[in-house]
Amino acid sequence: STMATTAKFWSKLSALSASKTLPRVVSSGQGAHLTIEGKDYLNFCSSHYLGFAEEPRLKKAAQDAIDLYGLGTGYRTLAGTHSLHLELEDKIARFKGTEAAVTFTSAYAANASAVQTILGKEDIVISDQLNHASIIDAVKVAGVQNKFAYAHSDMDDLETKLAQATEIAKKPKKNGEQPQILIITDGVFSMDGDLAKLPDIVDLAKKYDALTMVDDAHGEGVLGQGGRGVVNHFGLEGEVDIEIGSLSKAFSVTGGFIAAKQPLIDAYLMSARQRLFSIALTIPDTAALVEAVNMLGESEHKVQKLWSNVEYLKKGFTELGFDIGNSETPIIPVMLGDEDLARAFSARLFEEGVFASAICFPMVPKGTARVRVIVSATFSQEDCDAGLAAFKKVAAELQ
Q: Catalogue the active-site residues.
A: 190, 218, 249
Q: What is the largest CA-CA distance in the chain?
A: 66
d(CA 215, CA 195): 11
C-alpha–C-alpha distance, residues 351 and 110, integer Å: 38
Q: Are the CB atoms for 29 and 251 separated by under 8 Å?
A: no
Alpha carbons within 13 angstroms on the beta-carbon side of residue 57 total 13
In the chain the beta strands, taken as DSSP E runs, fall at 33-36, 39-43, 100-104, 124-128, 146-150, 181-186, 211-215, 242-246, 256-260, 331-337, 354-355, 357-359, 369-374
SS3 311: helix
- Collapsing DSSP to helix, strand or coil, 375 comes out as coil
Q: Which amino acid is at 45?
A: C
3-class state of residue 200 by DSSP? helix
Do the strands 33-36 and 39-43 form a parallel or antiparallel pair, or are they unpaired? antiparallel
Cβ pair 297, 63 in contact under 8 A: no
Q: 34 has which bridge partners?
A: 41
Q: What's the number of CA atoms in the CB half-sphere (13 Å) around residue 247?
A: 30
DSSP 23: P
State the Cα–Cα distance between residues 284 and 290, nearest whole angstrom. Answer: 10
How far apart are alpha carbons 187 and 229 in whole angstroms? 8
User: What string of H, E and C letters represents the secondary structure of 116-153?
Assistant: HCCCCCCCEEEEECCCCHHHHHHHHHHCCCEEEEECCC
Number of Cα atoms under 13 Å in the Cβ half of residue 86: 5
